[in-house]
Chain A
Amino acid sequence: MPEHTFRVNGKQVTVDVPDDVRLLWVLRDVLGLTGPKYGCGINVCKACTSHVNGKAVNPCAIPVKDLEPADEVTTIEGLPATAGDDPLHPMQQAWIDHDVAQCGYCQPGQIMAAVALVKRVAADGREITEADLDGIRNICRCGTYPRIRAAIRTGAAKM
């Protein structure tokens, strides 16, 4: 089987899986990183949201062959390290402060989407708007949406 080499949460990894296996299954079934969740498999629910080179993406829609050796995949497990030495990223702390999670299944994806949104908005040199928050596509079937919005504003202020 072909080998694929890329970076995951700061470490170089090489996996031996067919080219077209999607990254979500490489992370979960091969590497044992279970933070990114399956919710639809077709890039609409966003439960698996992770980062590739700092940008929010959905691993359920990325064939593993599309990754280059220098590509940095960050899952929820690797998020704190992207922000320094603290055990939690400021967005994770904001999530705890607002007691956002209910069942928690979608929340790793929500947090990864939130961090990417805040970075994108900061790169545009502007503040987060209600329209930005309206545009978040991650589904939370428990309906924690208002607390997600509040936590993003808190987390953004500390990032």
Chain B
Amino acid sequence: MGGPVGRRRFLGYVLAAPTLAAAAQLAPPSSAAAASPSSAAAALPTQDITDVVDLNDLMTLAAAPTSGLITVVVNTDGTVSFALPRAEVGQGITTSTAMLIAEELSVPLDKVRVTLADARPELLFNQLTGGSNTTFATYTPIRTAAAIARHRLLDAAAAHLGSPVGELTLTAGTVKNRSGGSVPIGTLAEKAASSRTKAVTVELAPRTKFTVIGEPHGRTDALAAVTGRKKFAMDLDVPDAKPTMVCRAPTINGTVGAVANLDDVRRMPGVTDVVVISTGVAVRADTFGQCIDAVRALRVTWKPGTAAGKSDESVLRELAGAELPLGPKPPAPTVEGKFTFYFRGNSALEPNCAVADVRPDRAEIWASLKSPIVAQQTIAAKLRLPVGKVAVHVVEGGGSFGRKLFFDAALEAAEVSQKIGKPVKLMWHRADDARQGRAHPMATSRVRIAYAGDAVLSYTQRHTSVSTDLGHGLGEIITSLAAKIPVGDKAFSEVFFLLSQTMPYRVGAESRLLSEVDKGFNTGSMRNVYSPDVTCARELMLDQLGTKIGKDPLQVRRQLLRDGRARAVLDTVAEAGNWGRAMPAGTAQGIAVHTEYKSVSAALVEIDNRPATVNRPIREGVTGPRVTKVVFAVDVGLTVNPRGLEAQMMGGIMDGIAQALTASLHLRDGYFLEASWDNYFYTRQWNVPPDLKIIIMPDTSDRPGGAGELAVAASMAAVAGAYGRATGTMPTSFPINHATLSFEVKPTVPPIPPSPTDGLSNA
């Protein structure tokens, strides 16, 4: 942020460079006491903690000691370059970042080239893409750098055109004076450059003058995406990096005992290398098809993994044993409920994958990574190389949903490449990705609300979860290690829980606690960590409270919301969605609110649970109740790109529908039964609401809040509420169809299924 020097004046730098390079500090110099998660938590009151500091604040504050600069470069061809120290995984930050630069620098959007920065260890905490934090953290620094570049260009143009700066205008990449003279910024790029680095201050464009920020823009990579030219990690042409896959254990995190036929498999067509690694047996071949055949041919005896013998039932018992008490029952009427949320797979469509080229004295890694600094440091340690000898290139990712905070494939690719002394293009088979990849942890949430008349006296929530791996810390190995130390990890996840869970309602005395158990699973966030489950439980209990005090779900929320922005989104969906309209039996509406990342959201959902809909036939698909309508309203404070924001909300709604109705992993005998997309029922076209309306509220702030994960919680909760009202029974276990296994379980040995042969006749 450069630290506000005056109102809207910010500090930045002109760097010594051949063409104009303007920079700003990514994180503000700050004397905030809250430099570490634990001291931040200790300094805070437990009540309404998120009013004082939320996860975004923590991540921004945590970056305080860093001095890393982000730099906008003006090139002689008139383009503007910027290497964003974040991961683009579909959330649209390359587009919104280009918009910020286009706004402050007055260049056309298509002249701005946003790439992804390699791992930059000096950025410390500030190269983590998570917590929907990107736009929140980068909004002011990027604009500051661009605004400095604009001023330098105007100064250079004044000399070039012989006109005072006050008589110049910069629009669409060209500077003009009053007498018709003009010069494109490319011509000025070298003249505006500086031979030494110097600090300058700059005023940013006021909101009222915005012409790019706040206007809808299509993605800057849309053309590349629709032509197949967009390059993901497995599309890169790294010399001699041949396809590589790993034969994995039949149970979670099992390891290799012995391999009976290594030499036979080495002689299979196309196979170049077979080697035992810490996670299985790696195979390198000319094509991935030959890797699949070789993996299936391997005869391996396995040692048990970290979840040996465990099942849904045994984990539920572990969770029950770890539940913190709700406390003595208050002397007032209460509503109380307990909800179960099963494991969910957070696979993106692009499976875990990475390219690695490890040499004796150096290494180079290519992967989509949201915590590239931790990845770089961990890989360097594993390879026994200095960090500076490990180059980590961040590639655009084919979705993340929590997966790309981790670097399981990159670490594995580095290990294989080092062991065989050759570059590898390592990809997990989908079955590996589903069964050995990360999952959203199973959890239970208990809620008790005490009330008197119309007023809520107290709210108690006890969330009990299989441990969520937050081992990426805040993006750098010191906090990452802190999260791995047993006690530190516990404190870290509890702080994370408190800071990420907001309470938008007036509920009197409030106590919300997290307790976690069992580190035997490969876990991670899934488009949010705790919020969808926590919010779903809370919102369902609000519906119950309403029933007790004679108010419908809209009325009870209107009465209790303590924030005008939240009430506005609620009222908006209620009106646009015609809340309370008469509906046929077996269909119903649900409504829910979720606030987080300084943003507020509300969803109104209609569901059809009539038998003709529930039982509609779809080959190898789960139908069930259909969400027929969603009206969603969102206020992110300040919207940079409404079109991108709508896309993020749309995706979050599809996730919410899946989590409420169809999508879960089933654990049995130490492994997940789901092995591909025909087993794991993420929302498909036949589950999509035919009627979807997303309303972006007018700006209510000078700063953008978070959006990437925001929509999941309210959507999931509203679908659950609608289902409860359609059936007359509040659901308490999610997804609602978890008890029905809707597929034939694929074998675990070999660990991946055969490639089909009927592709010409079976489309």
Chain A 34-91 interface residues, beta-carbon cutoff 8 Å to B: 34-45, 47, 49, 52, 55-63, 66, 75-77, 80, 88
Which residues in B have their C-beta under 8 angstroms from that of A8? none
Q: List 26 A-B contacts (CB under 8 A).
A: A32-B237, A34-B228, A37-B232, A39-B677, A42-B676, A42-B753, A44-B676, A52-B760, A57-B760, A59-B759, A61-B755, A62-B757, A62-B760, A76-B227, A95-B226, A96-B223, A99-B647, A102-B219, A105-B232, A134-B685, A143-B651, A145-B650, A145-B654, A145-B683, A146-B650, A148-B685
Chain B 743-763 interface residues, beta-carbon cutoff 8 Å to A: 752-753, 755-760, 762-763
B542 contacts chain A at the CB level, 8 A cutoff: no
Q: A30 CA to B756 CA in the complex, in Å? A: 20
The chain A residue sitting closest to B232, CB to CB, is A105
The chain A residue sitting closest to B680, CB to CB, is A139
Q: A80 CA to B91 CA in the complex, in Å? A: 27
Query: What string of 1s and 0s marks CB contacts (under 8 Å) between A88-106 and chain B?
Result: 1000100110011111111
Query: What string of 1s and 0s marks CB contacts (under 8 Å) between B76-110 and chain A?
Result: 00000000000001111000000000000000000
Query: What string of 1s and 0s marks CB contacts (under 8 Å) between B672-691 and chain A?
Result: 00001110001111101110
Task: Specify which of A28, A36, A59, A141 lies most central, judged by the most chain B CB atoms within 10 Å of its CB.
Answer: A141
Known pairs A103-B398, A135-B686, A145-B654; A57 contacts B759 (CB<8 A) = yes
B289 contacts chain A at the CB level, 8 A cutoff: yes
B235 contacts chain A at the CB level, 8 A cutoff: yes
Check if B286 sits within 8 Å of A29, measured CB to CB.
yes
Q: How far is the CB of B728 from chain A (nearest CB, A)?
A: 28
Known pairs A26-B287, A40-B676, A139-B349; A18 contacts B270 (CB<8 A) = yes
- B401 contacts which of A40, A95, A111, A141 (Cβ < 8 Å)? A141
Q: A58 CA to B653 CA in the complex, in Å? A: 29
B550 contacts chain A at the CB level, 8 A cutoff: no
Which residues in A have their C-beta under 8 angstroms from that of B426? none
Q: How far is the CB of A104 from chain B (nearest CB, A)?
A: 3
Q: A29 CA to B238 CA in the complex, in Å? A: 12
Q: A129 CA to B429 CA in the complex, in Å? A: 35
Check if B219 sits within 8 Å of A101, measured CB to CB.
yes
Check if A38 sits within 8 Å of B228, measured CB to CB.
no
Task: Specify which of B89, B222, B347 lies most central, judged by the most chain A CB atoms within 10 Å of its CB.
Answer: B222
- Known pairs A32-B237, A77-B228; list 16 more (Cβ under 8 Å): A35-B229, A41-B429, A59-B759, A61-B755, A61-B758, A95-B222, A101-B219, A102-B90, A102-B399, A103-B399, A105-B349, A135-B618, A140-B349, A143-B651, A143-B652, A149-B685
A24 contacts chain B at the CB level, 8 A cutoff: yes
- A103 contacts which of B89, B430, B653 (Cβ < 8 Å)? B89
How extensive is the interface on chain B, given as a class? 35 or more
Q: How far is the CB of A139 from chain B (nearest CB, A)?
A: 5
Check if B756 sits within 8 Å of A55, measured CB to CB.
no
- B226 contacts which of A40, A55, A88, A105 (Cβ < 8 Å)? A88
B397 contacts chain A at the CB level, 8 A cutoff: yes
Check if B348 sits within 8 Å of A103, measured CB to CB.
yes
Known pairs A42-B676, A44-B677; A88 contacts B227 (CB<8 A) = yes
Which residues in A have their C-beta under 8 angstroms from that of B232? 37, 105
Known pairs A25-B289, A104-B90; A34 contacts B651 (CB<8 A) = no
A144 contacts chain B at the CB level, 8 A cutoff: yes
The chain A residue sitting closest to B649, CB to CB, is A143
**Majority secondary structure of chain B interface residues (helix, strand, loop or mixed):** loop
Check if A92 sits within 8 Å of B227, measured CB to CB.
yes
Check if A38 sits within 8 Å of B399, measured CB to CB.
no
By Cβ-Cβ distance, the 9 closest A-B pairs, closest first, are A35-B228, A103-B90, A143-B654, A105-B398, A61-B759, A104-B225, A62-B759, A143-B651, A76-B228
Which residues in B have their C-beta under 8 angstroms from that of A37? 232, 349-350, 398
Q: A62 CA to B757 CA in the complex, in Å? A: 5
Q: Which chain B residues have a beta carbon within 8 Å of chain A's beta carbons?
A: 89-92, 218-219, 221-232, 234-235, 237, 243, 269-270, 286-290, 292-293, 347-351, 396-399, 401, 427, 429-430, 618, 620-621, 643, 647, 650-655, 676-678, 682-686, 688-690, 692, 752-753, 755-760, 762-763
The chain A residue sitting closest to B652, CB to CB, is A143
Q: How far is the CB of A135 from chain B (nearest CB, A)?
A: 7
Check if A136 sits within 8 Å of B763, measured CB to CB.
no
Which residues in B have their C-beta under 8 angstroms from that of A59? 759
Q: A13 CA to B270 CA in the complex, in Å? A: 20
Q: A18 CA to B293 CA in the complex, in Å? A: 12
Q: A32 CA to B229 CA in the complex, in Å? A: 12
Q: A143 CA to B711 CA in the complex, in Å? A: 12
Check if A56 sits within 8 Å of B349, measured CB to CB.
no
The chain B residue sitting closest to A64, CB to CB, is B289
Q: A1 CA to B270 CA in the complex, in Å? A: 10
Q: A22 CA to B231 CA in the complex, in Å? A: 22
Q: A30 CA to B397 CA in the complex, in Å? A: 23
A128 contacts chain B at the CB level, 8 A cutoff: no
A122 contacts chain B at the CB level, 8 A cutoff: no
Which residues in B have their C-beta under 8 angstroms from that of A146? 650, 688-689, 692
**Majority secondary structure of chain A interface residues (helix, strand, loop or mixed):** loop
Check if B349 sits within 8 Å of A101, measured CB to CB.
no
Which residues in A have their C-beta under 8 angstroms from that of B230? 104
Chain A 100-133 interface residues, beta-carbon cutoff 8 Å to B: 100-108, 111, 116, 130, 133
Which residues in A have their C-beta under 8 angstroms from that of B430? 39-42, 45
Q: How far is the CB of B628 from chain A (nearest CB, A)?
A: 11
Check if B651 sits within 8 Å of A96, measured CB to CB.
no
The chain A residue sitting closest to B293, CB to CB, is A20
- B756 contacts which of A17, A35, A61 (Cβ < 8 Å)? A61
Q: How far is the CB of B49 from chain A (nearest CB, A)?
A: 31
Which residues in B have their C-beta under 8 angstroms from that of A159? none
The chain A residue sitting closest to B626, CB to CB, is A134
Q: A108 CA to B653 CA in the complex, in Å? A: 23
Check if A104 sits within 8 Å of B224, measured CB to CB.
yes
A157 contacts chain B at the CB level, 8 A cutoff: no
Known pairs A34-B228, A44-B620, A146-B650; A104 contacts B398 (CB<8 A) = yes
Which residues in A have their C-beta under 8 angstroms from that of B683? 143, 145
Which residues in A have their C-beta under 8 angstroms from that of B270? 17-18, 21
- B219 contacts which of A43, A99, A130 (Cβ < 8 Å)? A99
Check if B763 sits within 8 Å of A96, measured CB to CB.
no
Check if A41 sits within 8 Å of B760, measured CB to CB.
no
Which residues in A have their C-beta under 8 angstroms from that of B752? 41
Q: A92 CA to B348 CA in the complex, in Å? A: 23
Which residues in A have their C-beta under 8 angstroms from that of B753? 41-42
The chain A residue sitting closest to B647, CB to CB, is A102
- A96 contacts which of B222, B396, B692 (Cβ < 8 Å)? B222
Check if B756 sits within 8 Å of A43, measured CB to CB.
yes
Task: Specify which of B223, B286, B685, B758 lies most central, judged by the most chain A CB atoms within 10 Å of its CB.
Answer: B685
Check if B288 sits within 8 Å of A147, measured CB to CB.
no
Q: A154 CA to B640 CA in the complex, in Å? A: 27
Query: What string of 1s and 0s marks CB contacts (under 8 Å) between A1-23 and chain B?
Result: 10000000000000001101111
Check if B762 sits within 8 Å of A61, measured CB to CB.
yes
Q: A76 CA to B683 CA in the complex, in Å? A: 25
Which residues in A have their C-beta under 8 angstroms from that of B399? 102-103, 105, 141-142
Which residues in A have their C-beta under 8 angstroms from that of B650? 143-147
